[in-house]
Every structure is written in structure tokens, then in C-alpha cells.
A and B are shown apart, each in its own frame.
Chain A
């Protein structure tokens, strides 16, 4: 699409307030006519859906605030050993804190966020905790994404291209998925965690497993709706191999909702992980502070030293909010109904 730079009236809605001499603007008008004629045929459908969505998101305050939060969080998590001024585990100031006598140390010059109940630097623990939290979120989401996408993708491909046999396969897989859906996610996670004992791995697997059915349903649904589109029919009519149709055509066009869900799942995973930690199924190793565990531990002191619980709680809320905002903005930007 070529747009002559001489065009003074690109939107075609007209320059009003015609004070300029009529004939002097003639050239511009003729240019405009030529441009209109030349433009016909390609109305700019070339830009991809993702590009379009990205451009829309750049203007959305929701997306921007989400992106800022997520970026800060990821940066802190990645560089936490450089940022944290002290060791998160050293009880350096242990002699200054007496939880049973309600003696706590709040923010001061050397300890930005004060000390925790064992005399450790709260700021360092928060910073190192970001890394653990990110790790839990990412791994849990990956578990849910990979297994869920595999199940949902194969079911969706089978249902849309596999004929009667494929529909049967889809039916069986979806029954299993429905059963998993019938178990409330946190209970599913609790059961998994109870089975394999408390550890960071437990939390990651438990939270991830709980997300599998959601990913599977989403991808299957998207693939089936794509499978009935005309371009799939056209590809089949041209004799393109089914595996190629599924992998090269249907799958890429179905990824939108799944990617949105991944972003939202990062938030859920962080919150669910906190819940599991609260239930005592999180990492018992104090060398790796994690926001959920910190929050669960600090709740005992909520009346005497509320900040100990409020810092990790705020961190969890803000981080989850960041991923949620980003995911929701993405969903909105990709939604054809919202696009106007």
C-alpha cells in the first residue's frame, strides 16, 4: 500500500474550513483521487492479528500498567542476588527481635523493610522471594500448558480432522478432562501436594496439574472452531495432509486464547501457591523464602506486627494483578467482538 506523502487529507474525511484558494488545492485533490483509486483492492488486511493486538495494547492503560508490573517483577527476580543487600537466611539481628514479647524492628536505614520474626532482613527476603515466586509461577504454568495443550490439541485435531474415530478419541479425552474439571483446582492441588509431601516441587506440580484441564478445554475449543472454518475446508479440498493442516494452519490460529490463559495462569499459580504454602504444603526449607510461605508464617503476628504479613501479601497481590491486567488486556485486544 503506497501512500503519497503529498496527500494532505489522508483520512478521507475532508478538510473543512476551505479558506485556501480553490484552484490552488486542485493538485492535492487530484492526488487524493488517484490515491483513492489506487488504494482499492487492498484495505490493509495484511497486518497480522497479533501485530494489530500489540498496537491496540500499546494504547491501553491496563496493558501498560500490567506490563510495567510484570517487567519490574521479572527483573527483580532475575537479579535478586545482586539487589538483596543481605543473606535472606542469616539471623544477623536475632538479638533485637522478640516475637513472644511483641518486640519487632520496623523499617530503618540498614533494613529497608525492617526485620522478620527471626531477625532476618525482610527486604532481602522479599527480593529473594520474588525469584522463588516467579519460579513457581512459571514452572506450574508450563506444566499446565504443556500437558493441557498436548491433551487438548490432540483431542481438538482429532475432533476436527479425524472423522468418526477422531471424534471418539476426542470424546474419551474430554471425559477425562471433565472429570479433572469436576475437582476444584485448589482441592486437586491439595490432594497432589498431600500425596508427594511438602516441597517447592510439590507446589509447582500441584498448581500445574490443577491447570491442565483448563488449558486442554481452551485449546480444544479453539481448534474445533477453527477446524470448521472455510480455509481448513479449502486446504482439505486441495489435498493438504491432515497433519500439516492441524500443525501449520489450525494450531497457530488457535493459540490466542491459550496464550492469554497462560498469562492469567501465572497470576493464579502465584495465588494458589501462596494458599498451598499457607496449608503447610509449601517449601519447608527456610533457605528459599517464598512470598506465600512468608505470608503464611507472618500471619501469626498479624495483630502485633502487621507489616510482616502485609509486605508479602502486597507483593503477591500486585504481581498477580500485573499478570492479570496483562492477560485481560491481551484478551481484549485479541477479541474480535471488542475490536471496533
Chain B
């Protein structure tokens, strides 16, 4: 098991190095180079040249790349043009909010998607199956930002059931320990904070959950249908096991395997969805920051965030691979 994990981690190194090269080249190929992005449009050529020198842009590319790598290793991802603060700091202050949002979206997607997908497969061809499959197809085809707007207008503005913006109600008295509002509230016992934070997570969480939910329903359904045809399910039935034992131990256990992989891949789309959802709900996370960075062409923020997100994504999928190998002994063996 340990050897499996070590091997998987070692396999990541070329991917991460390649990713850094990709982003480095990207930075170099910005229209007119970074100095255009960093300076006002009417800057003189002299100003540009001095900026190039100060940024080390006139050095050979390999030297530049190595210093780029060194800076990354030291946690220096550059400075935001818009705020003037280090990119890494900007990321870390916003990460807890997006993390909470992404986790609640994933919890919604898994908690609803798995049972729904299973039922759709078991009752194949019924109204329930049709509704689940049709609903998930429509879900995949609905632009996330539009769904977010609809949820906001209907449930926040018209019905007033949930707050329409931000992460916590303004003026709420709260002890900030780690930036994770729900966790901090639980630790300090400030239950009003927990409730307030959760209420703020409902609508953006639902909007963000739409695509993972749709994907999980469809994958689970397809996977369960496949497993139901397997010989070992027939063996389990031939042993006279209780129906629930057959369902959980023999059908779901195996049907989960491809779904687990899909959940890992879906975390990527969660980050992208967060850009759209957070901006609709003015949720102060990574997504809304990327949104404003896009509007302002804040290239250091864009590249830095993307590097971090890609790394996080790669590691999440590593975790998924490891948990997959715990679920499926055949993977461990090879």
C-alpha cells in the first residue's frame, strides 16, 4: 500500500514540472509581455525597458524559468496588480470560503446523486428513471450562472428564505480562528455563526452542485445497471442473502468504483463553477476573486491561482486514486 502511494506521488512530479513550464511559457507569451500588463497603456518605452530589467525579463529563458521555479518553491507567486498583495496570501485568505462552498456542493451532489442514481437503475424505464435521467440532462445543459441567478431571485429575493449574498451576515459577531466559518463556529460553540454560515451556503451550494449532481446520477445509474448484470450479483442472490445485503455489499460497493473516480474529476469543475457561482452570490472566495481578476486582467493572480488550483486538483485526484485502491484490491495488486 505504501509503495503504491509513493509510486503515485513520484508519478506526479513530471506532471507538476510540466505544468510549471506550461504556465511559465504562458506568462512569457502574454500579448506584449508582462510589462504591458503591469504598466499603464501610455507608459514610455523606457519605463517598459526598466521594468523588464527589474523583473529579470532580459535574462535567458532557462535562467528565468529556474528563478521562476525557485520563487514558486519559496511560495512567491508574484503580486496582485489590483491589490498589491502577494498572490499566495490572496489565495489563502479566500480558500476557506471556497472550500466550504465546494464541500457543501459535493455533499449535496453525493447525498442526492448516489441514491437517485441507484433508484433510477433499479426502476429502469419507470417515471422515476425518466425524471432522474431527464433532470440530469437538463442540469448538465443549464448554464451554472443562470441557475445561480434563478435561485437567488426566487429563493432569496422573492421568498426571502435564504440570504442572497456574502458568506456571513454583516455585523455578525464571530471569533475567527482559521477562516473556516462553519468549523470555527463549531469549535467555539457559536451556534448562531454556524447556522448563519450554513444558510449562506445553501443557494450557492445548490447552484454549484447542479453539474456534479447530474453527472453522479447518470454515472451511478449506468454503473449500477452494469453491476446488476454481473455474475457475482447472481451468486449473491443464489446464496439467498437478504436483499439489502446484496444491494449494499455486492451491488453498491462495486458500482461506487467508477463514481469515486468521477467525483475526483468533478472537483475540477467545482473550481470553475465556483468562479460563476461566487460572483453571482458575491461570495468572497477564490471564484469571485478570479472573476474580478479576469475583469481587471490581473495576470499574476490568474496564473498563480491556476497553478495552485491545478496542483490542488492533481493532489485531490491522487487522494481519489488512493481511496480507489482501498476500495478495489485489484488495483493495489498491479
Contacts and interface: CB of A to CB of B under 8 A. Distances in A.
Asked if chains A and B are in direct contact (CB within 8 A), the reply is yes
B171 to A, nearest CB: 25
Contacts of B43: none
Nearest to B211: A271
A179 B268 CA distance: 13
B22 A179 contact: yes
Contacts of B22: 179-180
Nearest to A292: B143
Of B291, B309, B310, most buried by chain A (CB within 10 Å of CB) is B310
A274 B143 contact: yes
A313 interface: yes
Nearest to B303: A191
Contact of B271 (A179, A187, A274): A187
A194 B226 CA distance: 43
Given A184-B269, A184-B272, A280-B294, A325 B137 contact: yes
A196 B309 contact: no
Contact of B146 (A190, A194, A295, A337): A295
23 contacts: A182-B19, A182-B313, A184-B269, A184-B309, A185-B272, A186-B272, A186-B276, A190-B272, A190-B275, A191-B26, A194-B302, A195-B29, A197-B31, A267-B140, A271-B143, A279-B291, A296-B145, A302-B153, A303-B157, A303-B158, A325-B137, A328-B137, A337-B226
B141 interface: yes
The secondary-structure label for the interface of chain A is helix
A185 B272 CA distance: 8
A186 B270 CA distance: 10
B19 A321 contact: no
Contacts of A306: 153
Interface of B is mostly: helix
Contact of A299 (B30, B149, B271): B149
A74 to B, nearest CB: 17
Q: How large is the interface on A (under 10, 10 to 19, 20 to 34, 35 or more residues)?
A: 35 or more
Contacts of B313: 182-184
Nearest to A274: B143
Interface of B: 14-15, 18-19, 22, 26, 29-31, 137-138, 140-146, 149-150, 153, 157-158, 226, 268-269, 271-273, 275-276, 279, 290-291, 294-295, 297, 299, 302-303, 306, 309-310, 313-314
Contacts of A197: 31
A130 B15 CA distance: 40
B15 A309 contact: no
Interface in A194-215: 194-197
Contact of A313 (B143, B158, B303, B310): B143
A278 interface: yes
Interface in A261-313: 267, 271, 274-275, 278-281, 292, 295-296, 299, 302-303, 306, 309, 313
A157 interface: no
A271 B141 contact: yes
A39 interface: no
Contact of A275 (B153, B276, B310): B276
B141 A320 contact: yes
Contact of B145 (A176, A275, A325, A328): A275
Contact of A195 (B14, B31, B141, B143): B31
Nearest to B312: A182
A324 interface: yes
B30 A195 contact: yes
**Residue from A187, A280, A316 with most neighbouring chain B CB atoms (10 Å):** A187
A321 B138 CA distance: 6
A240 interface: no
A281 B26 contact: no
B269 A278 contact: no
Nearest to A316: B143
A191 B302 contact: yes
B266 to A, nearest CB: 10
